[in-house]
Amino acid sequence: MRFLCEHHDNVYTLYVGQGMVRQFTDETLPDEIKALIGMVNAFDWDELHRTNVGPFSQWLDEQKQILWSTKHYYPSIANDIGWRINNAYALVLPYKSFLKLRGQEES
């Protein structure tokens, strides 16, 4: 599942459903999310946006648009882990892990 995560002032805000938000600090962020963010941050996204996205970089900065980006713009591994634009992340979790993050169990 792909979802939005924003990072501001040591707080991670995860948008995990219609009107459903979870907030974490560096200390409370689940390890699985920390690992994804670490892998995403390993790429030079500013350079990728400058060379691959070009004039579309402005609309990609909007919160809703980051989730609509496609593999066309990013390395293929990004489809499995996620990508970043400034302080906004589109992260990818397995469905079971995403449900756990939402506080649900698979039915």
- Model pLDDT for residues 48-62, shown as the tens digit of each residue: 666 655 444 444 444
Phi/psi class of residue 12: alpha, beta or left (left: φ > 0; alpha: ψ in -120 to 50)?
beta
> What is the tens place of the pLDDT at every residue in 13-23?
999 988 899 99
As a whole number, the mean pLDDT across the chain is 80
Q: Which residues fall within 8 angstroms of residue 94, CB to CB, at 6 or more apart?
A: 1
Tokens of 61: 């900065």
Instruction: Output the pTM of the full model.
Output: 0.77
Give the per-residue pLDDT at 67: 53
Give the per-residue pLDDT at 106: 73
Residues 28-54: what's their mean pLDDT?
82
Inter-residue contact 82 to 35 (CB < 8 Å): no
59-67 contacts: CB < 8 A, separation 24 or more?
Answer: 60/85, 61/85, 61/86, 61/88, 63/4, 63/6, 63/88, 66/4, 66/90, 67/2, 67/3, 67/4
Q: What is the dihedral of CA 38, 36, 73, 47, to 10 degrees?
A: -10
